[in-house]
Chain A
Amino acid sequence: MSIISSSRARTAVVAVAAGALALAGCSSSDSGNGKDKSKSKKEAAAQSAAVTMGTAADSTGPAEEVPGAKPGGTIQVYEEDDFSHLDPGQIYVSDAGLLSKLIFRGLTTYKEDDKGALTVVGDLATDPGKMSDGGKTWTYTLKDGIKDETGHVIDSADVRHTFERLYDPFITDGPSYIQQWMSGSGTTYRKAYAGPFKGGKHLPDSVLATPDDKTVVFHFKVAQPDLPQALAMAGYSVVPEKTDTKAKYDTKPVALGPYKVSEFKAGKSVKLVKNTNWDAKSDAMRHQYVDGFNIDINHDDEDQTKTILADRGDAKNAIMMTGQVATTQVQKVVSNAAAMKRTIQGYAPYVWQMNFNMDRIKDKKIRDAITYAMPSTAMYKTDGGAYGGEVANSLMSPTTPGYQKNYDPFDRSKKPNGDIEKAKKLIDEAGAKGMKIVYAYANVPVRQQQAVLVENALTKIGLDVQKKEIDAATWYEQVGKVKNGFDIYMTGWGQDWSSASTVFPPLYDGTQIQDGASNYAHINDDHVNSEIQRILKITDTAEATKAWTALNQYISEKVNPASPIYYTKTFQIAGTNVGGLRYSTVTSYTDPTRVFLKS
């Protein structure tokens, strides 16, 4: 309802890496009585095993039919915020990431079974990739006759162009994993190559080679075992070379998937219609049941929930994309058995953590004290209610491989709402009674309420809390500064694919500390730094996972740069006429590729 709170979603996605490909716990519509919350956690834990690599046979279409699916009709979508980008190269966040599932295709993608287990399969490529040279070289062969919406057949030049255009300065918002793997870390890759538009130069064959029309070969300096998963990110969807309009592409992209954009009005609406050049036989995971999608922007969670719950008119055919059942409406939905049947639930990949600015709070005892004092239960309840989150026991998310359910360094299972006594004792031991703590928070209603809770708890343990409200839109910029002037601040982070390698290096690598970097706590611990470098080089997934788990324990117990507060969960509802409703562990929202209308 509140105007500025509309930026809530935006705050969460700016740096939170919402685009995350999550291996999340799932409970689909049929298992959604919702009372059994622990169940989803168990499933998440079971699935945070690594993703399976598919075969060439897995990569062929058509996708397995959804039981009872019928063609026809138009799905109504209510969204709060505008899609930040339509140009795949700029897509990193969840809203556009969802849309990209419908309109774009990359070299690889995920296939998902009923339990939410994921298999990486070839999408435009015939398989998820052939690794050679110990993971330094990857070869992809394109499927035959895949056309974009204009009828152009995709060839290897288009794939090469897709990666080359990411070096051009106009691309600023998307993921940069593969560019960095190919041409250098940080932003140095941009100096290695200026993009295809100036002078038409290509990346050298020693980096990206296209020996024939159908073959693409990646060469990396070090082994990159995660390439198939990185390629499945929306940001690496293919942009055909001939129809690339650069900056303009952001509003008029060319579709390869089952739907294309027929109308795009910034901040208002998006209409998708069938892409007739899409061939079901070439696609292993997408369907084309409905005729199109009408996406209407500017409906906040409150509005979406009430409208879909009332189930009248268009709302019967409605799904939520990134919307959530509003905090205030949760009780109403949960107490209505019929409505619960059309909800989906699952883990979102984010861990909200209270970062300590380690340049300012140098005493670990004080950090521990604050960690113990955090009222986790009360805090997650303000953000989505009882179904919006769960107390976090560790800095790792239940969706990340290597997560341990029983690892509980701060007694969160016994005292989920904080252990004031213990915290007080620690503060007394540290002699920090009356110490000034500057607590920064984004100025939106949810964070304001949480600030009251935090202040309440920290005052009880004898600290002098100075609350500092920060403009929500520039929140991550301000706390991302090395000299931000704050002591504690809460940030959220989610994995980009199911590996801790997309979580630990960005958050805890001390060599990365600089303005704008995501090491918000400014932790710079030699052991952590060297471990991160070591584990990143491990090609065996199981071994790497084990090592991340051990590092997680070291970080929390020996350094404690951040207090785990809560994990976020997805709780969405759809109209009564919508079939095929399923929580997608890939996007951590309703899977839009398999929905259909019952009548």
Chain B
Amino acid sequence: MTSPIEIEGAEASTEVDEQTPQKGSDAPEKLEGRSPGQLMWRRFKRDRTGVVSAYVVLFFFLIAALAPLISKLYGKNPYTLYGQDDPLLLNDFNMPAGPNGGITSEYWFGIEPTLGRDVFTQLLYGMRTSLYTALAATVAMVFMGVLIGLFGGYFGGKVDYWLGRLTDFLLAFPQQLFMIASMPVITAVFVAPDEETPTYIHALAIIGVLWFLGWMGLARLIRAVTLSLREREFVEAAKVAGASPWRIIRKELLPNLVTPILVQGTYMLPSTILSVAFLSFVGVGYTEPTPDWGRMFAIGSDIYEQDPVYMFFPGVAMVIFVVAFNLLGDSVRDAFDPKTGR
């Protein structure tokens, strides 16, 4: 199974190597003796925007992964209430006392209003939380979507009918409302009443809720594409040649589905990050003190007049990340599909 996330950077080429039987239009280029995967990689490398975005995205994931190390070197953590221990950091109104949101050589991105934590480490860890959660949720959604879509599309008939009704049923659910209503249920079921809800339960609940109502879009798309592919000559040929359904799905259908999966996947990940932020915003996502990118965003929009700097860093980071990810998605797509070549 191919998931879009593994495409960022170097693994991409190995990932797609197995798609040897590409569409017929690739055939002439085979004369040069390169696999489509290699071709794609070459095309991708020539695309400057794509390479730069790939680096940016990689950089974000690296930062998220290395957050503990970075904060150790930097000498602060996202949990200590520096502003409470040192009364000079916050003014009477609980805003950073220093200019520019309290940016100093000690607090690189300033001080958080009210509680007085360090914004730099908050952002590092917040991105870590959001990226990990969104990544896990997206992988789960893509997996589910592809699975349901492929099955429905390829087998048709009864299977397709019932999978289609299931999809319809879940699509009709008012998604955001359901999330708000169901999150307390999940935590109530899994946590003992006199114990703090562990962060991983929050994470699992968020991933679960996003997954449950997040895969139908992709499933429908995949089904539609599969339906049209099923009638294509090369699938018919494979069938006539006696290939097993599993082989047809794996060798004939999946490679041709990579493009829509990738495009949708790269669109889903940033939007999943925003959904995680939405959950925090309405108060059913991560709770204090787990650092959370989305919560920083929400607080920032409340106080953007008083402390614009607090909004600035999480905001800019979010914009850069989403833009880079989308650009990367476009580039990967262009690289995969020679028809839309430069």
Tell me if B193 is interfacial: C-beta within 8 Å of chain A: yes
Q: Which residues of A contact B305 (CB under 8 A)?
A: 332
Q: Once the chains bind, are A438 and B93 in contact (CB under 8 Å)?
A: no
| Bound-complex Cα distance A471 to B284 (A) | 10
Beta-carbon contact of B81 and A452 below 8 Å: yes
> In the complex the two chains form, is A452's CB within 8 Å of B115's CB?
yes
Judge whether B81 and A332 touch: CB under 8 Å: no
On chain B, the residues within 8 Å of A2 by CB distance are 281-283, 298
Most buried by A among B81, B114, B184, B197: B114
| Cβ-defined contact, B283 with A444, below 8 A | yes
Interface residues of A in 455-489 (CB under 8 A from B): 455-456, 466-469, 471, 485-486
Within 8 A of B (CB), among A316-350: 327-332, 334
CB neighbours (8 Å) of A334 from chain B are: 93
A459 nearest in chain B by CB position: B79
Q: Is the CB of B114 within 8 A of A4?
A: no
A465: nearest chain-B partner, CB-CB: B196
Quote the shortest CB–CB distance from B198 to chain A (angstroms).
Answer: 10
**Considering only CB atoms, which chain A residue lies closest to B91 in the complex?**
A331
Query: What sequence of 0s and 1s flags, for each residue 270-302 of chain B, a beta carbon within 8 Å of any chain A beta carbon?
Result: 000000000001111001110000000010011
* Chain B binder among A56-64, A178-186, A380-388: A380-388
Is the C-beta of B95 less than 8 angstroms from some C-beta in chain A? yes
Residue in contact with B282 in the complex, picked from A3, A378, A456, A471, CB distance below 8 Å: A3
Size of B's binding interface in residues, CB under 8 A: 29
B282 near A466: Cβ-Cβ < 8 Å: no
* Interface flag for B92 (CB, 8 Å): yes
Let me know if A209 is at the binding interface, CB within 8 A: no
| B306 touching A331, Cβ below 8 Å | yes
Q: A453-B81, A468-B196 are in contact. Are A4 and B288 (CB under 8 A)?
A: no
Inter-chain CA distance A452–B83, complex, in Å, is: 13
Mask: chain A, 1-40; 1 = CB below 8 Å from B; 0 = not: 1111100000000000000000000000000000000000
Contact call A466/B303, Cβ cutoff below 8 A: no
Q: Is the CB of B115 within 8 A of A449?
A: yes
> Could you tell me if B194 and A331 are in contact, using CB atoms closer than 8 angstroms?
no
Chain A residues positioned under 8 Å from B95 (CB to CB): 331
Asked if B84 CB lies within 8 Å of chain A CBs, one says: yes
Interface assignment of A355: CB less than 8 Å from any CB of chain B: no
- Minimum distance in angstroms from B70 CB to a CB of chain A: 22
Which one, A3, A328, A466, contacts B194 given CB within 8 A? Answer: A466
Contact A466:B196 (CB < 8 A) given known A449-B115, A471-B184? yes
* Distance (whole angstroms) from the CB of A298 to the closest CB of chain B: 15
B310 to chain A, nearest CB (A): 11
User: Smallest distance from the beta carbon of A415 to chain B beta carbons, Å?
Assistant: 12
Instruction: Report yes or no: A382 in contact with B288, Cβ–Cβ below 8 A.
Output: no
B231 within 8 A of A: no
Q: Is A409 an interface residue, CB under 8 A from the partner? A: no
B281 touches A3 (CB 8 A): yes
Residues of B75-98 whose CB lies within 8 A of A: 81, 84, 92-95
Is the Cβ of B282 less than 8 Å from the Cβ of A468? no
B233 CB-CB contact with A under 8 Å: no
Tell me the B158-210 residues at the A interface (CB within 8 Å). 180, 184, 193-197
Query: Whole-angstrom distance between the alpha carbons of A378 and B184 in the complex?
Result: 29
Given A448-B288, A451-B288, A466-B194, residue A331 in contact with residue B93 (CB < 8 A): yes
Select from chain A the residue with minimum beta-carbon distance to B93: A331
Is B92 a contact partner of A386 (Cβ separation < 8 A)? yes
Q: Smallest CB-CB separation from B113: which chain A residue?
A: A328
Question: Of B93, B184, B195, B288, which is within 8 A of A452 by CB?
Answer: B288
Chain A hits for B282, CB < 8 A: 2-4
> Once bound together, how far apart are the Cα atoms of A409 and B197, in whole Å?
35
Q: Contact: A452 with B289, CB < 8 Å?
A: yes
**Which of B193, B196, B288 sits near A449, CB closer than 8 Å?**
B288
Which of B92, B113, B287, B302 is the one whose CB lies under 8 Å from A302?
B302
Contacts of A386 in B (CB 8 A): 92-94
Does the CB pair B94–A385 fall under 8 Å? Answer: yes
Complex interface: chain A residues within 8 A of B194 (CB): 438, 466, 468, 485-486
Contacts of A330 in B (CB 8 A): 93
Interface residues of B in 16-52 (CB under 8 A from A): none
Asked if A382 and B306 sit within 8 Å, CB to CB, the answer is no
Q: Does A431 contact B (CB under 8 A)?
A: no
CA distance A327 to B303 in the complex (A): 10
Contacts of A448 in B (CB 8 A): 287-288
Scoring B288, B289, B302 by chain A CB atoms within 10 A of each residue's CB, the highest score goes to B288
A4 touches B284 (CB 8 A): yes
Once A328-B306, A469-B197, A485-B194 are accepted as A-B contacts, the answer to whether A456 and B287 lie under 8 Å apart by CB is no
The 8 Å CB contact of A382, one of B114, B281, B298, is: B114
Most buried by B among A331, A448, A453: A331
Do B283 and A3 have beta carbons less than 8 Å apart? Answer: yes
CA distance A451 to B290 in the complex (A): 12
Counting CB contacts under 8 A, is A443 at the interface?
A: yes
Nearest CB of A to B95, in Å:
6
Q: How far is the CA of A4 from the CA of B184 in the complex (A)?
A: 12
- Interface residue ranges of A114-152 to B (CB < 8 Å): none
Question: Chain A contacts of B195 at CB under 8 A?
Answer: 438, 466, 468
Complex Cα distance A471/B197, Å? Answer: 13
B289 contacts which chain A residues (CB < 8 A)? 452, 455
CA distance A20 to B16 in the complex (A): 70
Residue of B nearest to A460 (CB): B85
Q: What's the nearest-Cβ distance from chain A to residue B306, in Å?
A: 6
Contacts of A267 in B (CB 8 A): none
B110 vs chain A, min Cβ distance (A):
16
Q: Which B residues are in CB contact (< 8 Å) with A451?
A: 288
Chain A residues within 8 Å of B93, by CB? 330-331, 334, 385-386
- Is B306 a contact of A4 with CB atoms below 8 Å? no
Residue A434 interfacial (CB < 8 Å) = no
A5 / chain B contacts, CB cutoff of 8 Å: 283
B196: chain A residues at CB < 8 Å are 466-468
A375 within 8 A of B: yes
**Contact residues in A for B180 (Cβ distance below 8 Å):** 3
Q: In chain A, what residue has the closest Cβ to B84?
A: A378
Known contacts being A331-B93, A381-B114, A485-B193, is A1 close to B283, with CB within 8 Å?
Answer: no
Contacts of A444 in B (CB 8 A): 283
CA distance A455 to B81 in the complex (A): 11
Q: Which residues of B contact A328 (CB under 8 A)?
A: 113, 302-303, 306
Q: Which residues of B contact A469 (CB under 8 A)?
A: 197, 287
Residues of B near A1 (CB, < 8 A) are 298, 301-302
How many Å lie between the Cα of A277 and that of B188 in the bound state? 54
Query: How far, in whole Å, are A451 and B115 apart by their CA atoms in the complex?
Result: 11
Least distance between B309 CB and chain A CB atoms (Å): 14
B316 to chain A, nearest CB (A): 21
Cβ distance A197 to chain B, nearest Cβ, rounded Å: 37
Q: List 17 A-B contacts (CB under 8 A).
A: A302-B302, A328-B113, A328-B303, A331-B93, A381-B94, A382-B115, A385-B93, A443-B283, A444-B283, A449-B114, A449-B288, A452-B81, A453-B115, A455-B289, A456-B84, A466-B194, A466-B196
Chain A interface residues toward B at CB < 8 A? 1-5, 302, 327-332, 334, 375, 378, 381-382, 385-386, 417, 438, 443-445, 448-449, 451-453, 455-456, 466-469, 471, 485-486
17 additional A-B pairs beyond A4-B282, A334-B93, beta carbons within 8 Å, are A1-B301, A1-B302, A2-B298, A3-B282, A327-B94, A330-B93, A332-B305, A378-B84, A382-B114, A385-B93, A452-B115, A453-B81, A466-B194, A468-B196, A468-B197, A469-B197, A485-B194
User: Which 8 residue pairs of A and B lie closest in terms of their CB atoms, listed nearest first?
Assistant: A4-B283, A331-B93, A3-B282, A448-B288, A466-B196, A485-B194, A328-B303, A386-B92
